[in-house]
Structure 1
């Protein structure tokens, strides 16, 4: 993708809309919608790196109630011709065609590489990457198993959503617990994963969400590791103008 003069690529992650309740997250949602309104003025594309919702499950004819401000704004931007790309996170991994059909937004379930103005970007939400977190990987295999999804969809949405939201809010990443603290380069799994990927193939940028902590670190070999932070505590996002990448805070 060539970025036209005066245009930029924007990156955002981890809004967790609906946590701890729809009402409590609404001010954050309005702030995110205001950001979308601002960036659409010069956006060549917008990338959302997962956990936009704290829980999302698509039934055959039903999607979760709420978030109309966000969905409406995404539809408006997509309809205007600005491409939007979505990477599922561990909280909204049960997407099954709604974004593609209703909003014309491609949805990715695995890491994907993009090239902007000769700069290569390795992009993913970040959950389950690398050799660690085996417990989560086992759990994810269960959650993404077609049999499990088939059985869950037969649970009435009022019950299924209530149980899932309760369990989701218990996640420490929402409460801002120790998981949102820098653990040191050797203990940051996504940094170690990026370094292993860098040994196989050069990328200029490795971009992730998931950790809820804004990070922009040099990996060597003219490569950088970037974590976009979140829209709970930091309200940070990434911008690439065709030459330089920058993490910014939305005020």
Structure 2
């Protein structure tokens, strides 16, 4: 992707809209929409790295209600010709065509490689990557199993959404948010994962969410690991101007 002069690429992750309740997340949603309105002015593209919602499940003809401000703004941006790329997180694994059909937003279920100008990026949400985290990896296999999803769709949406929202907040194994603390590079699984990826191929930047911590860590002299933080506590985002990547707060 070539970035036109004067334009920038923006990145954000982990809004968890709807948590702990729709009412309490409303101010955060309005804040995020205001940010989208601001970056729309000079965005060449926007990357959203997952967990936009604290829970999202697409039935055949039903999606969770709410989030009208966010969805409307995303539609406005893509209608204006600005591409948005979405990477599912561990809270919105069950996307299945709604964003593509209604918002014209491609959805990725695995990390992807991008070249922005001459800079190489490896981008994803980050859940289930790296060593350990075995409990969540097993749980994710259950969640993404086609039979599991088919069975879950037999629950009435009122029951299915309410149950999932409760588990999303209460069950740390499901949420993946058990330990939001920086305990050193050797304990950061995504840092270890990135370093292993570098053994096979060079990337200038590894961009992830999931950890809820704004982090910038040098992997070697030419590669950097970035975690975008979140829109729950930090309200941080990433911006790439065609040459350099930086973390900022809104």
Q: Same fold (TM over 0.5)?
A: yes
Matched, 1:225 2:208: no
CA 1:46–1:171: 2 relative to 1, 3 Å: farther
Q: Per-residue deviation at 1:125? A: 0.2
Q: In the alignment, is the contact (CA less than 8 A) between 1:57 and 1:64 conserved in 2? A: yes
Which range moved further: 162-171 or 1-10? 162-171
CA 1:97–1:124: 2 relative to 1, 3 Å: same
Q: Per-residue deviation at 1:172? A: 5.1
Report the counterpart of residue 97 of structure 1 in structure 2: 97
Is there any run of 5+ residues in structure 2 with no aligned partner, and where? none
C-alpha distance in structure 2 between counterparts of 1:107 and 1:158, whole Å: 25
Q: In the alignment, is the contact (CA less than 8 A) between 1:216 and 1:226 conserved in 2? A: yes
Report the counterpart of residue 81 of structure 1 in structure 2: 81
C-alpha distance in structure 2 between counterparts of 1:169 and 1:223, whole Å: 35
C-alpha distance in structure 2 between counterparts of 1:242 and 1:180, whole Å: 31
Report the counterpart of residue 61 of structure 1 in structure 2: 61
Q: Per-residue deviation at 1:178? A: 6.3
> Secondary structure in 2 aligned to 1:180?
coil
Q: In the alignment, is the contact (CA less than 8 A) between 1:47 and 1:86 conserved in 2? A: yes
Is there any run of 5+ residues in structure 1 with no aligned partner, and where? none
Q: Per-residue deviation at 1:170? A: 1.7
Q: Give the ranges of 4+ consecutive aligned residues of structure 1 lying more than 2 Å apart after TM superposition.
A: none
C-alpha distance in structure 2 between counterparts of 1:105 and 1:32, whole Å: 18
Q: TM-score, normalised by structure 2?
A: 0.97
Q: Structure 1, residues 52-103: CA drift from partner, whole Å, max 9, x if none?
A: 0000000000000100000000000000000000000000010000000000
C-alpha distance in structure 1 between counterparts of 2:76 and 2:171, whole Å: 32
C-alpha distance in structure 1 between counterparts of 2:41 and 2:85, whole Å: 17
Q: Per-residue deviation at 1:131? A: 2.8
Q: Per-residue deviation at 1:221? A: 3.5
C-alpha distance in structure 2 between counterparts of 1:34 and 1:2, whole Å: 26
Report the counterpart of residue 247 of structure 2 in structure 1: 247
Equivalent residues, number: 250
Report the counterpart of residue 32 of structure 1 in structure 2: 32
C-alpha distance in structure 2 between counterparts of 1:37 and 1:245, whole Å: 21
Q: TM-score, normalised by structure 1?
A: 0.97
C-alpha distance in structure 2 between counterparts of 1:53 and 1:121, whole Å: 24
